[in-house]
A and B are shown apart, each in its own frame.
Chain A
């Protein structure tokens, strides 16, 4: 899911080096290039309970402050993703709440994510499903699907074994699969295509 590691875009590497040399304004390029993804993560994490912009600002401020620890030979995006997740978790801790991955209880979860008369197929049910998930599970989906983090990285953030992260995510997907229903015309697997 993470793909082949690539080098950083030259302009981003130059921006990082310029900021380290004292040209703070050079950080603007990094904000412009990565705002959407970080704001998306934090908006969905907060789930409409409060505006995401402040937390997004905080994430970039933390990235700026910690830029000395960033390896500029690597892409800035994945590092910024980790800063964003850390910012979200720290934010909850400051509020006296810990984001903990509770064991998956299908009955409890099913009651939580679905309501009577709300069987809308496709994208809408997924949006609704994500919004109704417990915060830790929503973050799990976001880390995996929006930020493309590996299971190992996710397990470090949530202080859970990799197996537990994988298992819980799979069961949550299973639940969502049932809610979405069978695909009308699902694409065939590339590796299976062409077989009789």
Chain B
């Protein structure tokens, strides 16, 4: 290789010049030197040439192009994730901001209103009969069921704690803690032909504000299945999940490779098959999101989510939704009714 630049004592300054690290006077001095030194000039040209080539080589290529389906897949995960923490405005800071915007004349009226509110609250408090604090836990809660600090849905084995030989956790038979809790972020595999009954219990401010609103939501998974408990619901990679949610609850999301099924107080079944996800709804409403479509499903319907993102009408899933108590969870419909084919739009439903 031709190396015309090995002899000059100022070679070390080339890097500093390229990086813009030289002080103005030193920079000017080096540039004067380069003008008179063919070795340094050649080396500098060569380095600039390399920089141009590397810059070009590091630019995005056709395989990096943004595509709607790629963005949709990211957004699918983001929509299922908890809201970002940090400096998001709280009701208190919003109230403060609103208070700052009030005209000066409004303050006496505001103070009077606040005084009335304080008086009413004090009177209500004094009228209360002393007694034990109200139970916050839903009926059937066992001690230690709630994972401290966790918000969103927390999953536990309906059968209780202990070893479950047909449920594999990272290659080993599952052994849960005393509360029978399943850990978030772990992939569980359910053996073929087995069924697993889980309780999805919601934790968070929503429940703290309205203790009676959300109780345990039953989910039955049929193997062979692979799934992951998530704060927003369940990631179902394969297998069937039947949900019978009679109580009001925050949106429970079943994510599948072909799309997202968002339950809005309902009874439904999701089955993941190669290249498609079958969704059968018995009652209530479901919001379906694929990389290319979003639809609201109401009434007794069954649809198929394709890998391509299409949502099309479908027959019933291959097996009944629930094997347990029919009173608690009756079977899902055998097939969609012809008059139920048209799903509502999002605007109609909200």
Contacts and interface: CB of A to CB of B under 8 A. Distances in A.
A37 B3 CA distance: 35
Interface stretch (A79-87, A95-103, A182-190): A182-190
A43 B64 contact: yes
B74 to A, nearest CB: 5
B58 A183 contact: no
Given A28-B71, A151-B19, A166-B15, A123 B84 contact: no
Nearest to B86: A68
A6 to B, nearest CB: 18
Interface string B197-217: 000000000000000000000
A176 B54 contact: yes
A21 B88 contact: yes
B87 interface: yes
Contact of B54 (A19, A64, A126, A170): A126
A27 B70 CA distance: 14
A31 interface: yes
Contacts of B106: none
Main secondary structure of the interface of B (DSSP, over half): helix
B49 A183 contact: yes
| Interface residues on chain A, size class | 35 or more
Interface centre among B42, B59, B60, B63 (most CB of A within 10 A): B60
A37 B64 CA distance: 8
B66 A68 contact: no
B35 interface: yes
B52 to A, nearest CB: 8
A191 interface: yes
Chain A contact surface mostly: helix
A192 B31 contact: yes
Interface string B40-58: 0110111111110111111
Contact of B31 (A57, A69, A177, A189): A189
Contacts of A189: 31, 34, 41, 44-45, 48
Contacts of B53: 122-123, 126, 176, 180
Interface in B53-102: 53-61, 63-66, 70-71, 73-75, 77-79, 81-89
Interface string B258-302: 000000000000000000000000000000000000000000000
A190 B42 CA distance: 14
Contacts of B89: 20-21
Nearest to A34: B66
Given A1-B20, A36-B60, A68-B88, A130 B81 contact: no
Given A28-B75, A180-B49, A186-B49, 4 more contacts: A20-B89, A35-B66, A126-B57, A189-B34
Top 7 nearest A-B pairs (CB, nearest first) are A68-B86, A183-B49, A146-B58, A40-B60, A186-B45, A67-B84, A35-B66
8 contacts: A1-B20, A20-B89, A24-B78, A24-B83, A39-B60, A123-B53, A177-B46, A192-B34
Interface of A: 1, 19-22, 24-25, 27-28, 31-32, 35-37, 39-40, 43-44, 53, 56-57, 60-61, 64-69, 122-123, 126-127, 130, 141-142, 145-146, 151, 166, 170, 173, 176-178, 180-183, 186-189, 191-192, 195
